[in-house]
Amino acid sequence: MHHVDNARLPEGARTDAQEADTACPGAHLLAATAAHASRSQGQRQPVPRGITAWVGAWPLQQAIWLRSLTLVERFRVIRTIDVAVHCFAERPFKAALSAAQRAVRGLVKAGLLARYRTDRFMTVYGLTQRGAHWLEDRGVEASASVRRVTDMTNPEHRLWAQFLVLCAEARGLQAWTEPELLRALAERAKSNEEPAQGVLLVHAVTSRKRRRVQLRPDAAAREPDGGLTWFEVDRSARGSDRAATLRALVLSVGAPTALGLPLRRVVIHTRTERIRQRVLASLAAVAVGTAAVGLAEGRRRLLPKGERCFEVLLTVKQSLADGRVRLVDVLAGHVLVHELPVWLPRVRLDGRSGHSTRGWFGDNVLPYARPPGTLPWASPQSPLAQSPPAQGPFSRPHQCNAHKRR
Q: Which long-range contacts (CB under 8 A, 24 or more apart) does 42-48 make?
A: 47/17
- Angle made by CA atoms 13, 17, 19, in degrees to the nearest 5: 60
**Could you please report the per-residue DSSP string of 314-372?**
EEEEEE-TTS-EEEEEEEEEEEEEEE--TTGGG--TTSTT----TTSGGGT-SS-PPPT
Q: What is the pTM of this model?
A: 0.81
Yes or no: say if 157 and 120 are a contact pair by the CB < 8 Å rule. no
DSSP H helical segments within 51-155, as ranges?
57-75, 80-88, 93-109, 129-137, 146-150
Q: Inter-axis angle of helices 27-40 and 16-23, to 10 degrees? A: 120
Yes or no: say if 359 and 344 are a contact pair by the CB < 8 Å rule. yes
Q: Inter-axis angle of helices 93-109 and 80-88, to 10 degrees? A: 120
- The whole-angstrom distance between residue 71's C-alpha and the CA centroid of its chain comes to 12
Could you tell me the CA-to-CA distances from 68 to 94, 113, 241, 246, 398 in Å, in that order? Answer: 18, 10, 38, 35, 27
Q: 17: which residues sit within 8 A by CB, 6+ positions away?
A: 47, 49, 50, 52
**Mean pLDDT per 10-residue section of the chain, whose length is 406 residues:** 44 45 44 48 61 78 95 97 96 94 97 91 94 96 91 89 97 96 86 82 83 94 95 91 93 94 97 95 94 90 92 94 92 96 90 83 94 89 64 35 36
Phi-psi region of 12 (alpha: psi -120 to 50; beta: other; left: phi over 0): left
pLDDT number for residue 340: 96
Write down the CATH number for the domain with range 1-25+54-154: 1.10.10
| Strand order through the sheet with 325-339 | 174-177, 219-222, 228-234, 263-270, 325-339, 309-319, 300-304
Pairing relation of β-strands 200-206 and 174-177? Answer: unpaired
pLDDT number for residue 43: 63
pLDDT number for residue 368: 97
330-348 tens-digit pLDDT: 999 999 999 999 999 999 8
Give the integer Cα–Cα distance in Å for 1 and 36: 11
Q: Where are the domains of the chain?
A: 1-25+54-154, 174-353
